[in-house]
A and B are shown apart, each in its own frame.
Chain A
Amino acid sequence: MIPELGHFALIIALCLALLLALVPAWGTWRGNSVAMALAPSLAIGLLVFVGISFSCLSAAFLQDDFSVKLVASHSNSLLPPIYKFSAVWGNHEGSLMLWVLILSLWTAAVALFSSQLPLLVLSRVLSVMGAIGVGFLSFTLFTSNPFARLLPGAPADGSDLNPLLQDPGLIIHPPLLYMGYVGFSVAFSFAIAALLGGRLDASWARWSRPWTNIAWAFLTLGIMLGSWWAYYELGWGGWWFWDPVENASFMPWLAGTALIHSLAATEKRGLFKSWTVLLAIFAFSLSLLGTFLVRSGVLTSVHAFATDPSRGMFILVFLAVVVGGSLTLYAFRAPAVSSRVSFAWVSRESLLLCNNVVFLVATLTVLFGTLFPLIVDALGLGKVSVGPPYFNAVFVPLMALLVPFMSLGPVSRWKRDAVSRWGRELAIPAAVAVLCGVTLPLLHAPYNVWVALAVLLSSWLVLGLARDFWQRLRSGSDPVQGLSRLTPGYCGMLIAHLGFAACVTGIVATSQYAVEHDLKMSPGESRVLAGYEFRFVELAQVRGPNFVADEARFEVTRDGVFVAALHPQKRRYLASGSVMTEAAIDAGLFRDLFVAMGEPVGSSGAWAIRLHYKPLVRWMWLGAILMAVGAFTAVLDKRYRRQREVVHSSHEAALRGA
């Protein structure tokens, strides 16, 4: 009964989405304010029914209703309840449901928190989001119904969730990632609404900015969690593989980063309008493209969902309508003449432009690398695979090029600045950065040039920010007053850029300094790696809720002092019979120690053991968290709220006047 209820709620949700797409749009066309005013209620209704449907699906999973095909093939009665719940989105159909749920959450959020928007704009935005909802809801209902039953012949037990997905990281990774992906639909809808209305102005940029920031922050966290999960769960210590599916989430992130910076210029200076709109379309289109790549089976990937050409066709048509339609609209409606606002070459505008160029090139590089095998195949030239060497060769220099400008950006003035002023402001940071770059890598023998370069670049960035921060503190009569003058927007920028510096340092240091050893070890043996002694104490058999495991008990000491007890496991999952390596990690701010079990070697109780020493590996994830925190902080800026108050009071004045 419950699955049918869910199915029915999903059908009602589709009807509501259709109404949301059509009625307010008709209202804006005919100037019918009653039709326009329906938009927020329809948006909330959409959320309610998608919510009901999603809850029904979750209930089917939690109650082990194996007559539902999806539950039977992705869950198991022995699965811990939390994984039964996360199994809801550990498959194609359920993850689409999650996508739809998050889309309706964003739609309802726009409806609730946009009282400052003119009704005309709000109803346009919401009807664009409704149209996207129609696309995804019909995709779910017509090609990937999650409520399909296995009747008669429901199995007694399910075939279990893929053990790789039975992990705390994977409970929240997809929701965060989708919050980001789908969140770009808000910026997209604002852009389309602005194109439809023909008004691309500073207020449009101001409305879009907080939404874009929040979506970007979620996407950052989602990608970070994915990388972290790969690091400890896949068992071989890698954290980024340039896999098509990783790229699918990384491309919207890169485009989104460009968008955030370009929106700043549009809001503050009314510049790059057409460009910003294009980026907003671009970021969301890349999210859709990612969906297509993951679910259509055109590229092979370790992450890919069970694929089906008819689904691929559906998303491709949807992609063509959404992206093709919006780019056509863009071609006809975007302002063709460049704005009359001018700026000098030496100015904050040109630095933001520089950011945009770098991130756009980076996005296109990743896009090209991801699609190259497909292009070659489509042209009938054979099959190729593009590996990490290509991506690293292009991506690393691009990022290295970016950092020098990142320090100049916050210090610079809008409109026109002087190189001599940059020199005065940043001479000391530059000197100290060189000093840091030369000396800090000495702390870790052997000396490594790449790490030195990374330290040089990130300390240049950090010190430049510190210098600017200090200047602003001094601008008040006393530091406290100076501090209170800092806007959340500025603090957010500061935090996010610090995060970027941490990320760069972490990535380079861990790639250059990591030590890994693959050894044959028996209980009682010990090995020394990077100054740490790893002692294999004993081998044990342990039993989990739905698996049995061999557990190697390790004790790590340094100079005779106890550091950590590490217990890696080799698990055999009972329902599926699949074997998983569960690495044990002692995490630290400055280094991670990582032990994973391979296969038993011989019959004497020896195992192939992999030991890793990974310095500063946490920095890249901490950096990503800082970036997200920065983006969230910037949203708190008063000017997004002040606008609301002003509109409110003028609205009230108008009422009083009437």
Chain B
Amino acid sequence: MGPRLKLFLPLLLFALLAITLFRGLGLDPGAMPSALLDRPLPAFSLPGLGRTDLLSEADVVGQAALLNVWATWCVSCRVEHPYLKQLAEQGVPIFGINYKDDDGAAQRWLDELGNPYRFNIADREGTLGLDLGVYGAPETYLLDTNGVVRYRHAGVVDEKVWQTILEPLYRELHKGSNAP
């Protein structure tokens, strides 16, 4: 490489970076890839948080519900938590997957901040997360009455996300389940 040519290296690297950033602008960091969309929840058998029995996919299936992946090490989960509690108070069933976490810490979190979850699946090794294709906490899945994943949201569920994306879908699924 000639001495002058070498000096073009930073420019080249920056060009690559700029292209990445440009592509990044067109992407929604919360939108989901469609791998699991409209596929049933993968089978699992994992202990419940603070329970002795094992839970399986059958425990979750039956009503339109949210499946929320969270962990105590996840800062954004803390941001999301109060809103999940509001949703739970409105009667939206929320199941938790406590992802790659310490049971004690998770239990303390729930004691301290409140518990919006019907129950929590303790996914200590992240095996269920792997099957689901979890990329990071928090992540929220919308399940229909048959346990089929209808939507996946990566990132914090807040009022905007709920009202614009999740709620319309949830209402529809919920209605469907009430119909004979």
Contacts and interface: CB of A to CB of B under 8 A. Distances in A.
B10 A298 contact: no
A332 B4 CA distance: 8
Interface in A368-399: 371, 373-375, 377-378, 382-385, 387-388
Contact of A328 (B3, B11, B79): B11
B25 A296 contact: yes
Nearest to B15: A324
Given A327-B11, A336-B3, 14 more contacts: A300-B156, A324-B14, A334-B7, A336-B2, A336-B6, A336-B7, A371-B20, A373-B29, A374-B24, A377-B24, A383-B136, A387-B74, A608-B108, A608-B112
A320 interface: yes
A300 B155 contact: yes
Contacts of A243: 75
Contact of A383 (B11, B33, B74, B111): B33
8 contacts: A243-B75, A323-B18, A327-B14, A330-B10, A336-B4, A336-B7, A601-B111, A608-B112
Contacts of A589: none
Contacts of A337: 3
Interface residues of B, number: 43
A331 B11 contact: yes
B29 A299 contact: yes
Contact of B111 (A313, A334, A382, A520): A520
Q: Which of the listed residues B7, B24, B73, B108 has the most CB atoms from chain A within 10 Å of its own CB? A: B24
Interface in B86-120: 108, 111-114
B3 A302 contact: no
Q: Which of the listed residues B2, B27, B133 has the most CB atoms from chain A within 10 Å of its own CB? A: B27
B29 A598 contact: no
Given A385-B136, A387-B73, A297 B29 contact: yes
B56 interface: no
Contacts of A222: none
A597 to B, nearest CB: 9
B10 A599 contact: no
Given A324-B15, A337-B3, A598-B111, A300 B29 contact: yes
Interface of B: 2-4, 6-8, 10-11, 14-15, 17-18, 20-27, 29-30, 33, 35, 73-76, 78-79, 82, 108, 111-114, 133, 135-137, 154-156
Contacts of B33: 382-383
| Consensus secondary structure, chain B interface | helix
A17 to B, nearest CB: 24
B20 A374 contact: yes
Nearest to A596: B112
Contacts of A297: 29
B76 A327 contact: no
Interface in A331-351: 331-332, 334, 336-337
A298 B21 contact: yes
Contacts of B30: 300
Contact of A608 (B14, B22, B25, B111): B111
B49 to A, nearest CB: 15
B20 A518 contact: no
Nearest to A388: B73
A146 B76 CA distance: 28
Nearest to B107: A518
Contact of B22 (A241, A299, A316, A328): A316
B25 A375 contact: no
Contacts of B154: 383
B8 A331 contact: yes
A579 interface: yes
Contact of A384 (B25, B114, B136, B155): B136
A320 B25 contact: no
B135 A385 contact: yes
Nearest to A238: B75
A302 B114 contact: no
B15 A579 contact: no
Contact of A610 (B25, B74, B112): B112
Interface in A283-307: 285, 292, 296-300, 302
